[in-house]
Amino acid sequence: MRILVVEDEKKVARALRQGLEAQHYDVSLAHTGEDGFFRLSAETFDLVILDLMLPGRDGIEILRALRDRGVTTPVLILTARDAVDDRVLGLDSGADDYLVKPFAFSELLARIRALLRRGRPDQVLRLQVADLEMDLLARRVARAGRTLVLTGREFALLEYLMRHAGHIVSREMLARDVWGEPGRDATTDNLIDVHIARLRRKLDDPFQCALLKTVRGVGFVLGEGTT
């Protein structure tokens, strides 16, 4: 899940990114309203965390311009302005939720989960392959009830493999869809192999049955009883 954080205070932006990445969200930062607006017009995000007091165009202007252009990405306003009028203005301008600084990080996470849930009612939010379970909202993975601690990239890799369970996933597919590289090269292959090895250590080594198999010369397949 991709989140754009529009926040001009670099320290706050960095802290947000760190905390959200720890929850396996894919986080991008924009430090001005213009940059945020540009990113939102050019790329797809699942959620925006928007500061109101920004240099140049402020958050409300950005929000209105986005909604006018038909951008429906959920927006959570995060701001020090706590007056009721400010909240009303934010929500009336098209925000989906509003959180006042200082805030508890756990509350921010809960609101993000709620917005993502609301925005994607028809989306699959849980994946399961044999005794392996992935909760896409809570960003949690467990095998046989035991939580696996994964990095963001490992999580994305495993999510992709689970979505293609029982089918061979080639290095080309992983390079393109997980790493965002247009094509395979030796560096990307090496990165893929390193991540597959790490994932295998966490996913399979502690358990009896291996779920992640290498198909020599072709790619990888995730599933029970596949060879």
Task: Provide the residue count of the chain.
Answer: 227
C-beta closer to Ca ion: residue 101 or 117: 101
What is the DSSP pairing of strand 26-30 with strand 2-6? parallel
C-beta closer to Ca ion: residue 80 or 144: 80
Place of tokens 């198909």: 215
Contacts of 220 (CB under 8 A, 6+ apart): 161, 168, 169, 174, 196, 212, 213, 214
C-beta closer to Ca ion: residue 80 or 197: 80
CB of 55 to Ca ion, least distance (A): 8
Using only the alpha carbons of the chain, give its radius of gyration: 20
C-beta closer to Ca ion: residue 51 or 97: 51
> What is the edge-to-edge ordering of all strands in the sheet holding 219-222?
169-170, 219-222, 212-215
Give me the residues that bind Ca ion (CB under 5 A), please: 8, 51, 53
CB of 12 to Ca ion, least distance (A): 8
CB of 32 to Ca ion, least distance (A): 10
CB of 79 to Ca ion, least distance (A): 8
Residue nearest to Ca ion (CB): 53
